[in-house]
Amino acid sequence: MKHSHPAFEAVKPNIGSSFTSLKFLRNENIKSHVWHYHPEIELIFVCGGSGKRQIGSNISYFSDGDIVLMGSNLPHCGMTNENTNNDYEMVIQFKPDFLGENFFELPEMQKISALLEKSKAGIVFSENIKKQIGQKIVAMHESSSLEKLVKFLEILDALASTLDYRILNAGKYYLQTQVEDNERINLIFNYVKDHFKEQITLEQVADLANMRVPSFCRYFKKITNKTFTQFVNEYRITHSLKLLAEQPLSITEVCFESGFNNFSYFNKTFKQYIQKSPSQYRKEFNFLIE
């Protein structure tokens, strides 16, 4: 099994534009499954479909209408190889200085500047803002030249003005500042991705990282701001959310398909992360899409 550090992605602006605006139809964005980074800030709007994603050390389940903002050089990828059935995905990429080195230092840009600073840890926006901003992103993409730029600044201003968002990596997790650790941490992330349905021991991953268990535990907590057990549980719970939403499996089957070998522990962990039981989550999800 081959492992590599996050791949660098070279991003080219659209012709005649200072930033990149792309619309990927179903399954066109083949790079989304590759663990990668780039100096451009990235705004993503998903229309239709669902799946898993990893942004920094955060693993979460995304669904129709999700809007995410990721800062410069924050590694990310879609974590599934399966078809997520997105109708389309809007991706906007721009360098922090795409309008000039000091543009976002202007008084009028104070809110947007604060938003871009927060994006270094990844931001996901809530239901209240998604529909409104999603429509604006689509309209912006279909505009041309100066109108597109003006609409993009309006989108950033709207995102900067809302309080309905969640920071994805708490406690200043910036993988890009630990370039020398990229390969090691990526080995660990990929190992969890490939083996989460199996039993994973600290001894196994510590050996993979060429470290003793106590040193590995301290190292992983320092890099990701969470314990390795928390990271694995988060990955498994995220996978269970996808199964509960998309597959006609029983709760017990979801438990074991997600890598848990104890149903009581699965229920307890699920409630800890999601604040509701698996059956409640499925019932509420089905109600929302009806």
Q: Where are the domains of the chain?
A: 7-167, 178-289
Percent of the chain having pLDDT more than 70?
A: 82
In angstroms, the CA 190 to CA 105 distance is 39
Q: According to DSSP H, which parts of the chain are helical?
A: 110-118, 127-141, 145-161, 182-195, 202-208, 213-224, 228-246, 251-257, 263-274, 278-289
Q: Which amino acid is at 170?
A: A
Task: List Cβ neighbours of 212 (8 Å cut-off, separation of 6 or more).
Answer: 206
- Amino acid 198: pLDDT: 95
CATH class of 178-289: mainly alpha
- Amino acid 200: pLDDT: 96
Tell me the two tokens of residue 41. 């800030």
The mean of the pLDDT values for the chain is 83
Q: What share of the chain is helix, strand, coil (3-state, %, to 5)?
A: 50, 15, 35
- Amino acid 178: pLDDT: 52
- Amino acid 1: pLDDT: 35
Fold of 7-167: Jelly Rolls (2.60.120)
Please identify every stretch of the chain with a pLDDT value under 70, giving residue numbers as ranges. 1-16, 26-35, 79-86, 170-182, 287-290
CA distances from 176 to 35, 71, 217 (A): 13, 10, 20
What is the SS3 assignment for 264? helix
pLDDT in tens, 114-133: 999 999 989 999 877 888 89
- Amino acid 260: pLDDT: 97
In angstroms, the CA 232 to CA 229 distance is 5
Task: List Cβ neighbours of 47 (8 Å cut-off, separation of 6 or more).
Answer: 64, 65, 86, 87, 88, 89, 90, 134, 138
- Amino acid 22: pLDDT: 86
Q: Which amino acid is at 35?
A: W
pLDDT in tens, 178-202: 555 667 877 888 899 889 999 999 9
pLDDT in tens, 80-109: 434 445 577 889 999 999 999 899 999 999
Say if CB 233 and CB 209 are below 8 A apart: no
